[in-house]
Chains A and B, each alone.
Chain A
Amino acid sequence: MSQKVLLNATEINIALNRLACQLIEKHDDFSKTVLIGIQPRGVFLAERLKTLLESEYKIKDIKLGYLDITFFRDDFRRGQKPLEANKTKINFIVEDKNVVFIDDVLFTGRSIRSALTAVQSFGRPLEIELLTLIDRRFSRHLPIQPDYRGRQVDAINGEKVKVCWKENDGEDAVYLVKN
């Protein structure tokens, strides 16, 4: 197994700042916007962005929720490993809000499809956008694209993109892992 660094800590930080600025351009003071991190690994990115928007760009009261999509996946019973659920925590109304889904890697698009169904349990958003740190653009199974992306990666199917976060994995880095 070999791995190559795609993004180091500084590059991730630059990408996060750029993504934050892009979000501000579109959503201004976030009064009509809510951020939703897709469980499990989109949550780290979502929390980073929220902290950055609040500390660097002085935007207050950003609403952030976590969405678990386990029960909405279409590959239940098809995988070798049983699916394990995570916590959903959405303490606000999504009805008529601009929702930004946040996930670390966009691969086949199936997670986002599940998230689109899952979020309907909480109301009817006005608009839904997608932000991902990594976009594996040639791996899509469904017609889903990100509105905001940190880095586009052309990886073949045998390769894996691994996103590490300081709070969970001890470092900020993105690796391309080959088996």
Chain B
Amino acid sequence: MSELSVNHLLGIKYITEADIQLIFETADHFKEVINRPIKKVPSLRDITIANLFFENSTRTKLSFELAEKRLSADVINFASSSSSVTKGETLIDTVNNILSMKVDMVVMRHPNPGAGVFLSKHVNASIINAGDGAHEHPTQALLDTYSIREKLGDVSGKKVVIVGDILHSRVALSNIFALQKLGATVKVCGPKTLIPKYIEKLNVGVETNLRKALEWCDVANMLRVQNERMDISYFPTTREYTQQFGLSKAILDSLNKEIVVMHPGPINRGVEITSDVADSKQSIILEQVQNGVAVRMAVIYLLASKIKS
């Protein structure tokens, strides 16, 4: 197979295992490209991509922008804080205005779940979901699973625990879908208040003891505590959270095996993960960032190949 089954990347839920494998194989080629002296290829010379960020983001936005530029696409950027959205313009109007400037693809982050799906039904452009509320963040899940595949050779059969704020995390949901599609077993671990009630319906185990979860897993994916999304207190204090769910060198050293440590960033150093763990050999946090560009190049390239002039 050399073509994606979808015209948009709205979530991992909507794509197949074969799609994920194709994205990985294409990303392998782009990884080679971005390690060349000249890191740019002219494939997307005639494509215009709009990055619409209705919510703050640093690394995802930079990573997408870099991926687009390395494929030679024309890029326009939009941040809602400095736009007419603050004057009351609707999502459809904003996007239609941008599309009348002949944009072929839209990369969108939006605080509302389902914004990408909504948009894909109303506009004639390829949509890539760069995070919609607490719903999905497909490219993050792809780069996470790609990094696991790179580090451990295969995702199938591996045990992965996702630790922290599952309730507010779009990364968790997309990761669960991607890992399960590739044949891994997934557990979540965190304070009960931060674990959604539906989680067991997704065939995901729940563990509230970090040590037990770590003893079980091959990979620990630590999530950021999303203080900005918490309007009520889900746990007593940050200090208590760190004591129970923070990953420290001491816990890692006390395990009888070496596990792979991941974090989608940005890290709250000393909260969900200590500095010495974040910078240790077991951590693949920086590889995740590097793979992010290659994986996003692959997604954009494969979707662009379906846009016919």
Contact = CB atoms under 8 A, between A and B. Distances in A.
B32 interface: yes
A82 B305 contact: yes
Interface string B15-46: 00000000000100100110011111111101
Interface stretch (A1-9, A73-81, A99-107, A154-162): A73-81
Contact of B42 (A85, A87, A117): A117
A76 B43 contact: yes
Contacts of B44: 76
Given A71-B42, A71-B43, A117-B42, A81 B37 contact: no
Interface in A54-90: 68, 70-73, 76-78, 81-88
Given A77-B304, A77-B305, A78-B309, A85 B37 contact: no
B307 A121 contact: no
B308 interface: yes
B42 A77 contact: no
A112 to B, nearest CB: 15
A3 B308 CA distance: 34
Contacts of B240: none
Interface size class of A (residues with CB under 8 A): 20 to 34
Contacts of B37: 121-123
Interface of B is mostly: loop
A121 B2 contact: no
Nearest to A78: B309
A87 B36 contact: no
B215 interface: no
A71 B3 contact: no
A71 B41 contact: yes
Identify the interface centre among A70, A71, A120, A121: most chain B CB within 10 Å of its CB: A71
Nearest to A85: B29
Contacts of A120: 38
Given A77-B308, A122-B36, A72 B2 contact: no
Identify the interface centre among B26, B43, B307: most chain A CB within 10 Å of its CB: B43
A68 to B, nearest CB: 7
Contact of B26 (A72, A78, A85): A85
Contacts of A84: 2
A118 to B, nearest CB: 8
Contacts of B301: 71
A73 B42 CA distance: 8
- By Cβ-Cβ distance, the 7 closest A-B pairs, closest first, are A71-B41, A121-B38, A85-B29, A82-B305, A71-B43, A84-B2, A82-B2
Interface of A: 68, 70-73, 76-78, 81-88, 117-118, 120-123
